[in-house]
């Protein structure tokens, strides 16, 4: 026999599914604000902003804002991910009174599972496994984001053989990285454009850079040469490329050359969690 708690859960979920609407459609039911209030309270308790929640469950920040402000309800497919991410009990999300005298939920589920035929048991097991994997993935994502380091990205800078004006370089996005020693020392990430420093720094790779106004001979730096940033090895005679197809840039008294920073090392692809570029970068 089903308990009162099970019936209340089924009733709340069924009501939620019947009355849910599209993500953009306004909802006028009195209880609409309940879901938004719960979502906002548990999100703030978790120390996350709307953008972080949106990224973790695959929705837009605007959608999360609409849910919290009662403009729309969370899609039923998003409820498991939301509750797992923010640790919202279903009884709280659906506003179901908790009865401590009720049998444990695990026993109820096991009893129901045993009533199923082989085919439906297989379906139920598959659903539970998938939900458990999804929850584990969400938790892993949250742990990674909490331990991540965000650094500004200059996608067109450090031009290895390609001159790019400084005004087109700085502050074009951000890179979210796993916590690591180089990321903790760096001030900025530069995306290499060109092949003059191959094979050590190939075209399209990224490097950690610490701001500095000088580097020692033999060190790799980012240099502003006549208004265009380049990645080069500093030598007393000039700026050297690793690719022998490029000539040495000799430093004369009239050259407009300044050091922007010291290259700490390449960014490992495994350490990159996310790259956010501005709209003009695509």
Q: Which of 246, 204, 198, 207 is nearest to 225 (CA)?
A: 246
Q: 191 and 78 in one domain?
A: no
Distances (CA, A) of 178 to 125, 247, 267, 273: 34, 37, 11, 7
Q: 136 and 10 in one domain?
A: yes
127's tokens: 């659903």
| pLDDT at position 171 | 52
Q: 155 and 138 in one domain?
A: no
Q: What whole-number distance in Å separates Cα of residue 41 and Cα of residue 34? A: 11
Domain end among 144, 177, 211? 144
| pLDDT at position 30 | 46
Q: What whole-number distance in Å separates Cα of residue 51 and Cα of residue 60? A: 8
pLDDT tens by residue, the chain, 282 residues: 455 555 555 555 555 555 554 443 343 444 568 888 999 999 999 999 999 999 999 999 999 999 998 888 888 788 888 888 998 887 788 776 655 545 556 777 777 788 888 888 888 888 888 888 888 877 776 666 666 888 898 864 444 444 444 444 455 688 888 889 999 999 999 988 888 898 999 988 999 999 999 999 999 999 888 777 889 999 998 999 999 998 998 877 556 788 989 999 999 998 888 887 765 544
Domain end among 144, 163, 191? 144
Q: What whole-number distance in Å separates Cα of residue 73 and Cα of residue 16? A: 9
Q: What secondary structure, in 3-state letters, does the chain show?
A: CCCHHHHHHHHHHHHHHHHCCCCCCCCCCCCHHHHHHHHHHHHHHCCCCHHHHHHHHCCCHHHHHHHHCCCCCCCHHHHHHHHHHHCCCHHHHCCCCCCCCCCCHHHHHHHHHHCCCHHHHHHHHHHHHHHHHHHHHHHHHHHHHHCEEEEEEECCCCECCCCCCHHHCCCCEEEEEECCHHHHHCCEEEECECCCCCCCCCCCCEEEEEECCCCCCCCEEEEEECCEEEEEEEECCEEECCCCCCCCEECCCCCCEEEEEEEEEECCHHHEEEEEECHHHC
Residue 40 lies in domain: 4-144
Domain end among 95, 114, 144? 144
Q: 175 and 262 in one domain?
A: yes
| pLDDT at position 23 | 42
- At 103, which CATH number? 1.10.260.40
| pLDDT at position 101 | 47
Quick check: pTM over 0.75? no
- At 201, which CATH number? 2.10.109.10
| pLDDT at position 83 | 87
Q: How many domains does the chain have?
A: 2
| pLDDT at position 142 | 67
Whether the CA torsion 40, 42, 43, 48 is positive or negative: it is positive
Q: What whole-number distance in Å separates Cα of residue 220 and Cα of residue 200? A: 11
Q: 276 and 190 in one domain?
A: yes
């Amino acid at each position: 026999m089903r308990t009162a708690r099970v019936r209340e859960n089924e009733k709340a979920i069924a009501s939620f599914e019947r009355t849910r609407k599209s993500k953009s459609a306004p909802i006028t039911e009195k209880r609409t604000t309940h879901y938004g209030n719960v979502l906002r309270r548990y999100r703030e308790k978790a120390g996350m902003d709307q953008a972080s929640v949106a990224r973790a469950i695959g929705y837009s920040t605007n959608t999360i804002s609409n849910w919290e402000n009662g403009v729309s309800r969370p899609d039923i497919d998003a409820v498991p991910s939301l509750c797992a991410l923010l640790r919202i009990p279903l009884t709280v999300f659906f506003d179901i009174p908790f009865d401590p005298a009720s049998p444990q939920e695990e026993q109820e589920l096991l009893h129901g599972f045993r009533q199923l035929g082989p085919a439906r048991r297989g379906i139920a097991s598959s659903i539970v496994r998938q939900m458990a994997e999804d929850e584990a993935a969400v938790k892993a994502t949250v742990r990674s984001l909490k331990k991540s380091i965000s650094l500004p990205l200059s996608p067109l800078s450090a031009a290895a053989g390609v001159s790019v004006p400084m005004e087109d370089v700085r502050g074009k996005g951000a890179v979210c990285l796993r916590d690591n020693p180089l990321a903790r020392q760096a001030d900025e990430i530069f995306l290499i454009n060109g092949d003059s420093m191959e094979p050590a720094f190939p075209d399209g790779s990224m490097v950690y850079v610490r701001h500095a106004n000088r580097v020692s001979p033999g060190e790799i730096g980012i240099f502003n040469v006549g208004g265009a940033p380049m990645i080069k090895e500093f030598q007393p005679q000039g700026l050297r490329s690793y690719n022998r197809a490029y000539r040495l840039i000799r430093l004369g008294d009239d050259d407009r050359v300044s050091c922007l920073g010291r290259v700490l090392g390449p960014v490992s692809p495994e350490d990159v969690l996310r790259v956010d570029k501005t709209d003009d970068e695509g």
